[in-house]
Structure formats: C-alpha cells, structure tokens
C-alpha cells in the first residue's frame, strides 16, 4: 500500500490512491493507446547520475546514487553491481510502503539484490516519491488519493528512466530485464507490464489490480463506509479523471512478458478468491503463488520468486544458506 496511516487511510490508499479506474456507468472503456501516453518522457534527456557513496559486500558493490526524474526532483537509488564484466541480467526492485516498517523504502529488497549479484544480476532499487525527502501528505482524502495517483505515475516514469540507466551500461544484457514490485509497486509494475515492453519478466507481490470492482462491491463493508463518507459521485468523478492509474486497464496487455503474482492467504484485503480474479485478468504467460502469510509475504515467497527469476533470466545458482539468513519483512 502507500505511506498513509493504517486502517481507513490504508484502505483508501489501496483502492484509490494508487488504483484509480473507470467506473460503473462509464460507457466508454479507456483505450490503452491513449493511456500509455500518460507515461511518456524525454528519453534523450540527461540522467545526471550522481554518486553519493558505495559499500563493498561479498560478491557485490552497493552504489548509493541519484538520477534526475523527468517529473522533477531526483530519484534516490541503490545500484547493486556484481563482480566481473558481465553481461549481466538486470532487475528493477520496487518496495512496499507499510507504515512503521523499517523496510518501507528501497531498503526492502537490498539483501535480496546482494544475494542475487553473484548469480549474475545487476539491480536498481529506487525510493517511491511518497517516501522521498520533502514529501508532504495531503490531509483531504480525495486530494491525498490524487496525490498518490500522481506519485504512481512518477514512479512508472522513474522506473522507465532507471531502465534507460541500466540499458546504457556495457555490462548489462538488454534482453534480460525483470521487475519485482511489492504492494504499491506491484500496482506500478502492473502498469509497466503494458507500457514498458523492454521488461520481459515481472514479479508482482500482494497487489490489487481491479479497483472499480473493489470500491463498488456492495458486500464490502469497508468500501460501503468509504463511499458513504465521500459520496459515490465524487469517487466516480475521481475515477474518470484518473483512468490512466488503474491497473485493470493495462494488465490484459501484459503479454508477451511473463508475470508471476504472489499473494498471502492471510492478507485480509486480498482473499484468495479475489486474487484469482486478478490473476485471470492478466495476459499470458502467467503464474500465481499463495503463501501462509499476510501482506508482507514470507521466506517461501522469496525462494519461489528467486527460483522463477533464476530460470527466466538464465542465472547461476543462488546461495541458499545466505538466502535463509535474510530476515522476514516486518
């Protein structure tokens, strides 16, 4: 989810702030050809990469850097570079933003990226706009939803620029790009699956991908309360204005890229029945996995996605003892 407080704001963020759709009663479904232009940017502009620092780890170097965002400001990033000359596969990592978690930013996947480096992977991990320095949350619910939708658009574009950064490196194999995104960044990755065809493999963790149905589900008590509080017409107007930010308008176009969806059986907002509905909406090829975990998922999910990525990207074997030492996400 996003960076808002838990319970009501967490639910609002899940269904509105990063997940805006065309609504019931809207007669014309948005065309992908129109929506994708919301994520256009100047790919010839300078990335203006600036190194902040670096740290040596066994088999990898972590480079702390920033690069220019096409939508303003700078993108805080980690670039995890393996030893050797390559060419390496490359993975973009996008984090969750759970309040109270020490891993609610680009640090979430840092240990995983370091683990993968010796297998032949260079990784780019970026902070989402909602956790970057200077971000101030809107207090009004609909303004906050619009703010988070704009942040999701910026995150999509910033990842596309990150892909440009990786593709420009002589040690990167441009035919072996992958993306891993959790929660908010699963939403971002779902849009990327249709917008950015340089990426051939996606792992999307604990995401929501068809939010019109979620908001207007009359059996969902939380959503009924939200609609009573804000008003159906305001929500519908909001949805119309931000149709480009609903994954449901993109995920049917995910192919030929492969998508691996991961869900927790104890993740209350996404019960298995709803998760399977999301799975059905994606294009082929695709895979789904369920885990005895909540929104954070667990070590088994990590092992499964690493093995899936290893096969998809033709990587060397992973150090399973090192993987077992990565702590559970909290």
pLDDT of residue 285: 98
* pLDDT for 19 beyond 50: no
As given in the structure block, the two tokens for residue 50 are 């600036």
Does the residue 166 lie in any domain? yes
Q: How confident is the model at residue 217 (pLDDT cuts 50, 70, 90)?
A: confident
Number of domains comprising the chain: 1
Asked if residue 37 lies in contact with residue 55, where contact means CB atoms within 8 angstroms, the answer is no
- Domain span at residue 48 reads 30-208+247-324
Dist. CA 176–CA 199, nearest whole Å: 8
Q: Nearest to residue 159, comparing CAs of 245, 253, 41, 244?
A: 41
Q: How confident is the model at residue 26 (pLDDT cuts 50, 70, 90)?
A: very low
Dist. CA 214–CA 281, nearest whole Å: 14
Does the residue 201 lie in any domain? yes
pLDDT of residue 237: 84
The Cα diameter of the chain in Å comes to: 59
Does the residue 230 lie in any domain? no
pTM strictly above 0.85: yes
Does the residue 86 lie in any domain? yes
* pLDDT for 5 beyond 90: no
* pLDDT tens column, 258-297: 999 999 999 998 999 999 999 999 999 999 999 999 999 9
Average pLDDT over residues 238-260: 93
Dist. CA 9–CA 325, nearest whole Å: 34
Average pLDDT over residues 108-125: 98
As given in the structure block, the two tokens for residue 208 are 């929501």
Does the residue 216 lie in any domain? no
Q: How confident is the model at residue 149 (pLDDT cuts 50, 70, 90)?
A: very high
Contacts of 178 (CB under 8 A, 6+ apart): 89, 90, 91, 92, 199, 200, 201, 202, 203, 309, 312, 313
* pLDDT for 303 beyond 50: yes
Q: Phi/psi of residue 193, each to 5°?
A: -60, -25
pLDDT of residue 27: 43
pLDDT of residue 28: 67
Average pLDDT over residues 16-40: 66
CATH number of the domain encompassing residue 121: 3.40.50.1820
Average pLDDT over residues 57-78: 97
Asked if residue 1 lies in contact with residue 98, where contact means CB atoms within 8 angstroms, the answer is yes
Does the residue 233 lie in any domain? no
Does the residue 136 lie in any domain? yes
pLDDT of residue 174: 96
Does the residue 74 lie in any domain? yes
Q: How confident is the model at residue 256 (pLDDT cuts 50, 70, 90)?
A: very high
The mean predicted confidence, pLDDT, of the chain is 90
């Amino acid at each position: 989810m996003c960076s808002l407080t838990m319970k009501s704001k967490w639910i609002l963020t899940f269904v509105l702030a990063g997940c805006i759709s065309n609504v019931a009663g809207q007669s014309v479904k948005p065309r992908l050809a129109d929506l994708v232009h919301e994520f256009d940017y100047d790919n010839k502009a300078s990335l203006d990469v600036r190194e902040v620092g670096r740290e040596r780890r066994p088999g990898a170097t972590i480079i702390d850097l920033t690069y220019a965002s096409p939508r303003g400001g700078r993108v805080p990033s980690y670039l995890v570079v393996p030893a050797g000359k390559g060419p390496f596969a490359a993975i973009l990592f996008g984090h969750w933003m759970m309040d109270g978690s020490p891993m609610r930013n680009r640090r979430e996947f840092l240990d995983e990226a370091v683990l993968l480096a010796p297998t032949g992977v260079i990784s780019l991990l970026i902070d989402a706009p909602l956790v970057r320095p200077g971000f101030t949350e809107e207090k009004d619910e609909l303004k906050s939803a619009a703010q988070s939708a704009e942040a999701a658009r910026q995150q999509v574009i910033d990842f596309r620029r990150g892909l440009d950064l990786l593709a420009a490196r002589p040690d990167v194999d441009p035919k072996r790009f992958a993306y891993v995104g959790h929660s908010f960044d699963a939403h971002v990755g779902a849009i990327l699956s249709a917008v950015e065809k340089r990426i051939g493999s996606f792992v999307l963790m604990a995401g929501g991908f068809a939010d019109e149905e979620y908001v207007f589900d009359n059996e969902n008590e939380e959503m009924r309360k939200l609609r009573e509080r804000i008003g159906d017409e305001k929500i519908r107007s909001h949805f119309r204005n931000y149709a480009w930010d609903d994954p449901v308008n993109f995920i049917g176009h995910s192919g030929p890229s492969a998508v691996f969806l991961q869900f927790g059986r104890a993740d209350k907002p996404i019960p298995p029945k709803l998760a399977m509905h999301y799975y059905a909406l994606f294009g082929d090829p695709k895979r789904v996995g369920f885990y005895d975990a909540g929104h954070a998922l667990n070590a088994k999910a990590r092992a499964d996605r690493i093995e899936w990525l290893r096969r998809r990207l033709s990587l060397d074997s992973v150090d399973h003892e090192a993987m077992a030492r990565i702590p559970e996400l909290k």
